[in-house]
Amino acid sequence: MFQLGTHGLFLAALSLVPARISCSFGSVPDVPDIAAYFGTKTRYEEVKPNLLRDPLTVNTSILRPPPGELCTPVHLTAVIRHGSRYPTVKNIRRIHRLSEIVQKDAARTSESSTVWLQELRKHWEQWFTEDMDGRLVRKGREDLQLLARRLATLFPSLLSEENMRKRRISFVTSSKHRCVSSVEAFQDGLQQHWGRQDEAPGYSHEVDDELMRFFERCRAYVEGVENNRTALAEVEKFKHGVEMEAVRRRMAEKLGLSLHLLTPDLVEAAFFICSYELSIKSIHSPWCFLFDESDAKVLEYKSDLKQFWKRSHGHTISSLSSCPLFHHIFRTLDKAGRPRRSTDAAPEPASILVGHAETLLPLLSLLGLYKDQTPPTASNYQSQHGRSFRTSRIVPYAANLLLVLYDCQRGPRLQLLINETPLRFPDLQEDAPLYRDVRAAYRHLLDGCDFQRECEGRPEGRGPNTEL
């Protein structure tokens, strides 16, 4: 029997006791209206709202080989971000500082102040502890279990029990605890799908940080971007710019705090508490009331600016650092799509790669996705409302890039999906173009994109291809 888990139970409870909810909280909806703006701290459900009704919803029409051509999926590569997690130590310390400041004179909170403000100043208990440091939460395990179950429904011949038992599906993960827990949860989800959750799990995966944490091994990236303050100058400027200042002033007023106590980092910490209480505990935190939708859009933009300049199109080296993963994926696809004699071993049906937002963003950027005409900067917030680069949509918890290789009458075809939604490769006109056309579009990367040369400045790489 399928279990709803904490989140589903919470929603179920809500729908059973509307009277109680409405008298204690007024007409507060269960999900804060700023929930879709949490950047990399956004729940997957905000991107796929259908899942709130049924987390196992699968719409097979997202698989789109050409309607007139007979095609069967032969391989799935999935690059998946870990699920919902606790804050890391840096943010936990900020949360502590913020709650101390806000609750300092709690006793003086007027009885006439709003319910949420009394709640926040007098009753909210600080529950984050440093040992939580970025670990996967229970909801995060569910994120991956449910994703696995939906993918197993979509690709029954690839994510099959037999393929699993014969260890033909490969599982690779980053060494971080939250990723290892995620790859295990994914395998649990498959077992649940086959009705085998009672058996000993027998997880199998390989840890590979060269593939999944390439960003910390690329010297040119670490020196040129990660440890280089000027590389993120736009973020710093925006942090102290007019839009952020207005958010900060409004928050200080609502709390009755003097402005100098409330740094931009603490403003962000309050926003994050709202996000964490939703994603971890499925509750509508009183901290959320400090922000309206326009404030949330400003804070989202601040986090998008950071990801853009640190992990994406802002600096070419950020995307080039993902070359090892790019080549690994295309080598896998090449092998899976190669014509076979009946005596050859069957191709690998699926490759599951679990990492971070920092793994996905450079790779998506390298593939040329989400690249807007005008880069986001500290001074063009007003003209960026329609940007495609929105981390809340691209890299929520459990974000995933799926590459589906089909065997079709005219040859192999490849379809790209982001978060279970079809997306076209730049400059290609079909949902599932011929694989050889995809290879042609990325020819410059397939023949280059050399980690040694880009990251270590060595003239000749050890990769399989060298540029002419």
Ligand X SMILES: *[C@@H]1O[C@H](CO)[C@@H](O)[C@H](O)[C@H]1NC(C)=O
CB 423 to ligand X: min, Å: 12
* Closest separation in Å from C-beta 62 to ligand X: 6
Catalytic residue chosen out of the listed positions 75, 82, 313, 327: 82
- Out of 27, 112, 230, 374, the only residue in the binding site for ligand X (CB under 6 A) is 230
Nearer to ligand X, 84 or 415 (CB): 415
Tell me the window of 55-63, 239-247, 328-336, 444-452 that interacts with ligand X (CB under 6 A).
55-63
Query: Considering only 105-113, 138-146, 222-230, 374-382, which stretch makes contact with ligand X by CB under 6 A?
Result: 222-230
In the numeric block, which tokens belong to residue 255?
A: 């709390």
**Candidate segments 224-232, 248-256, 294-302, 352-360, binder of ligand X by CB under 6 A:** 224-232
Residues 263-285 as b/e (b if ≥16 CB within 10 A, e otherwise) read ebebbbbbbbbbbbbbbbbbebb
In whole angstroms, the minimum distance from the beta carbon of 389 to ligand X comes to 18
What whole-number distance in Å separates Cα of residue 397 and Cα of residue 44? 6
Q: State the number of binding residues for ligand X (CB under 6 A).
A: 8
| Shortest distance in whole angstroms from residue 238 CB to ligand X | 16
Q: Which range, of 56-64, 319-327, 385-393, 430-438, touches ligand X by CB under 6 A? A: 56-64
Catalytic annotation present for 193? no
- Applying the rule CB under 6 A, the residues between 231 and 270 that interact with ligand X are 231
Shortest Cβ distance from residue 229 to ligand X (Å)?
8
Q: Is the Cβ of residue 348 or residue 431 nearer to ligand X in the bound state?
A: 431
User: Is residue 61 close enough to count as binding ligand X by CB under 6 A?
Assistant: yes
State which residue, 57 or 452, has the beta carbon closest to ligand X: 57
Identity of the residue, 182 or 312, whose beta carbon is nearer to ligand X in the bound complex: 312
Which of 291, 255, 252 lies closest to 274 in space, CA to CA? 291
Which one among 5, 66, 224, 375 touches ligand X, defined by CB under 6 A?
224
283: closest CA among 5, 14, 4? Answer: 14
* Binding-site member from 15, 22, 59, 465 for ligand X (CB under 6 A): 59
List residues near ligand X by CB under 6 A: 59, 61-62, 223-224, 228, 230-231
Please list the active-site residues. Answer: 82
